[in-house]
């Protein structure tokens, strides 16, 4: 069986005058169904680059990205849109909710694009909002909610499409630490319920809440393994010095 997500020697290079910036440099990993993986690294390490490739928003300069066993680079625009709709649920730092729509309508937007008929959209959006604890606020507008609640709406929106992968890019970045923890707990619950979650973060204390950590530095994978292992959070420079000394 193929992995849900597979990077094979993925590179993303940018030419800046005379210098080549290697945002991703031969990155390889596989993510299986049901995993909860944090992709972590400092600013500029290549997280967004990976996120954009995983999310089919960008393609590698070289190497291969397989989503559910299919080579994304070989797809045309329509195939891409279709696989993105079917496979991926996005959660961003900014919730990207539409202010004039109700919570339920906001959750329905991607379902509408996916061509789901109205009665089913209604039902699925209601269930998704109930799952994130907002079942009593279907007709509210985003502005009537706290930041954490708005992020829960965006989680419901990601869930409503029943995606194979939930892709969360710094989902707690705009939240205070308490609310951030709540959102993280929700991702853990989704994982416990069988969902595959890929979380992008620069924050070690958030990454260790996942099951597995893929750590990036300068476009390279420098750690891939158990999130609870001590070496999962050791910064590579210090580790290198430690080993040398
Ligand atoms: N469009 C671009 N043109 C040139 N260089 C780029 C471009 N996008 C990214 N880079 C470079 O690639 C490297 C990786 O960038 P990336 O955005 O993936 O980092 P990141 O880990 O997401 O950082 P942050 O935590 O700050 O969001 C950086 O050195 C960045 O400057
Ligand atoms: Mg980034």
Residue 155 lies in a domain: yes
Question: Whose alpha carbon is nearest atom 10 of ligand 1?
Answer: 23
Q: How many Cβ atoms sit within 10 Å of the Cβ of residue 192?
A: 9
User: At residue 67, does pLDDT exceed 60?
Assistant: yes
Q: How far is CA 194 from CA 34, 37, 180, in A?
A: 5, 13, 22
Residue 169 lies in a domain: yes
Please tell me which residue, 189 or 9, carries the higher pLDDT value.
9
Residue 203 lies in a domain: yes
Q: Is 47 in the pocket of ligand 1 (CB under 6 A)?
A: yes
Q: What is the pLDDT of residue 244?
A: 43
Mean pLDDT computed over every residue of the chain: 91
> pLDDT band for position 181 (50/70/90)?
confident
Question: Whose alpha carbon is nearest atom 27 of ligand 1?
Answer: 43
Domain count, the chain: 1
Q: What is the pLDDT of residue 182?
A: 85
Using DSSP bridges, classify how beta strands 36-41 and 196-201 pair: parallel, antiparallel or unpaired. Answer: parallel
Q: Is 201 in the pocket of ligand 1 (CB under 6 A)?
A: no
Judged by DSSP in three states, 22 sits in: strand
Residue ranges near ligand 2 (ion) with Cβ within 5 Å: 47-48
Residue 245 lies in a domain: no
> Which mutation among 21, 170, 217 tests ligand 1's pocket best, with the greatest number of atoms within 8 A of CB?
21
Model's pTM, two decimal places?
0.90
Residue 74 lies in a domain: yes
Q: Could you tell me the distance, in angstroms and rounded to a whole number, from the CA of residue 86 to the centre of ligand 2?
A: 24
Q: If you average pLDDT over residues 119-142, what whole number do you get? A: 95
CATH number of the domain encompassing residue 141: 3.40.50.300
Please tell me which residue, 64 or 237, carries the higher pLDDT value.
64
Q: Is 53 in the pocket of ligand 1 (CB under 6 A)?
A: no
Using DSSP bridges, classify how beta strands 19-31 and 36-41 pair: parallel, antiparallel or unpaired. Answer: unpaired
Segments forming the whole domain that contains residue 46: 5-233
Residue 239 lies in a domain: no
Residue 240 lies in a domain: no
Give residues with Cβ within 8 angstroms of 91, minimum separation 6: 151, 154, 155, 158, 166, 167, 168, 169, 171
Q: What is the pLDDT of residue 235?
A: 66
User: At residue 14, does pLDDT exceed 90?
Assistant: yes
Q: What is the pLDDT of residue 243?
A: 44
- Nearest atom of ligand 1 to the alpha carbon of 49: 18
> pLDDT band for position 81 (50/70/90)?
confident
User: At residue 66, does pLDDT exceed 50?
Assistant: yes
pLDDT digits (tens, 9 = 90+) for 202-215: 999 999 999 999 99
User: At residue 240, does pLDDT exceed 60?
Assistant: no
pLDDT digits (tens, 9 = 90+) for 185-205: 989 998 998 999 999 999 999
Q: Could you tell me the distance, in angstroms and rounded to a whole number, from the CA of residue 55 to the centre of ligand 2?
A: 13
Please tell me which residue, 237 or 79, carries the higher pLDDT value.
79
Q: Could you tell me the distance, in angstroms and rounded to a whole number, from the CA of residue 240 to the centre of ligand 1?
A: 24
User: At residue 242, does pLDDT exceed 50?
Assistant: no
Q: Is 67 in the pocket of ligand 1 (CB under 6 A)?
A: no
Q: Is 45 in the pocket of ligand 1 (CB under 6 A)?
A: yes
Residue 242 lies in a domain: no
């Amino acid at each position: 069986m193929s992995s849900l997500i597979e990077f094979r020697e993925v590179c993303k290079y940018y030419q800046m005058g005379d210098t080549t910036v290697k945002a991703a440099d031969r990155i390889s990993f596989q993510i299986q169904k049901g995993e909860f993986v944090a992709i972590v690294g400092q600013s500029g390490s290549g997280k967004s680059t990976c996120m954009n490739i995983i999310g089919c928003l960008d393609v590698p300069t070289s190497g291969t990205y397989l989503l559910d066993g299919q080579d994304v680079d070989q797809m045309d625009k329509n195939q891409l849109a279709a696989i993105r709709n079917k496979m991926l649920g996005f959660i961003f730092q900014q919730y990207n909710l539409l202010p004039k729509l109700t919570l339920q309508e906001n959750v329905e937007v991607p379902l509408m694009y996916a061509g789901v008929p109205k009665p089913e959209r209604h039902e699925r959006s209601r269930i998704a909002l109930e799952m994130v604890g907002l079942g009593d606020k279907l007709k509210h507008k985003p502005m009537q909610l706290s930041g954490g609640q708005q992020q829960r709406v965006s989680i419901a929106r990601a869930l409503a499409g029943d995606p194979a992968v939930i892709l969360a890019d710094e989902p707690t970045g705009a939240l205070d630490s308490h609310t951030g923890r709540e959102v993280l707990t929700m991702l853990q619950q989704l994982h416990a319920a069988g969902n595959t979650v890929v979380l992008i973060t620069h924050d070690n204390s958030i990454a260790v809440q996942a099951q597995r950590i893929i750590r990036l530095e300068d476009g390279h994978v420098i750690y891939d393994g158990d999130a609870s292992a001590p070496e999962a959070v050791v910064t590579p420079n210090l580790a290198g010095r430690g080993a040398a000394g």
